[in-house]
Amino acid sequence: MYIMQVPVLSTAHIRPATGEFLTDEGNGIFGVVATYDDGWFIFVGDLEGLDTFDALSQDLQKVLQWAFDNGHEWIRIDAHVGDIIEELPNYSEEW
């Protein structure tokens, strides 16, 4: 049985405008985004085949690149239970 592990990152790693983008346009622009009340599930997949990667905001690019570099197919960004990752920027003051 395959059991997927999904890291849960804090919304502090993205800017509020990026959160709005994920909710409003994320699913159609670059892949699969599942929105819920406190955040998003995002399919990372193969970034090298993603034509729109360079058009994404830098904060989202860094989060996706971190996930890809660490072998994660999916990530969850959550406002309440997400972890702070030291190597990622922290925009918590903007929320």
Q: What is the pTM of this model?
A: 0.89
Q: Are 13 and 75 in contact (CB under 8 A)?
A: no
80 vs 30, higher pLDDT: 80
Domain ranges for the chain: 8-78
Q: Give the per-residue pLDDT at 48.
A: 64
Phi/psi of residue 88, each to 5°? -105, 150
Averaged over 47-66, what is the pLDDT?
84
Q: Give per-residue pLDDT as tens, 26-36.
A: 777 666 789 99
d(CA 13, CA 18): 10
User: How confident is the model at residue 26, as a pLDDT?
Assistant: 77
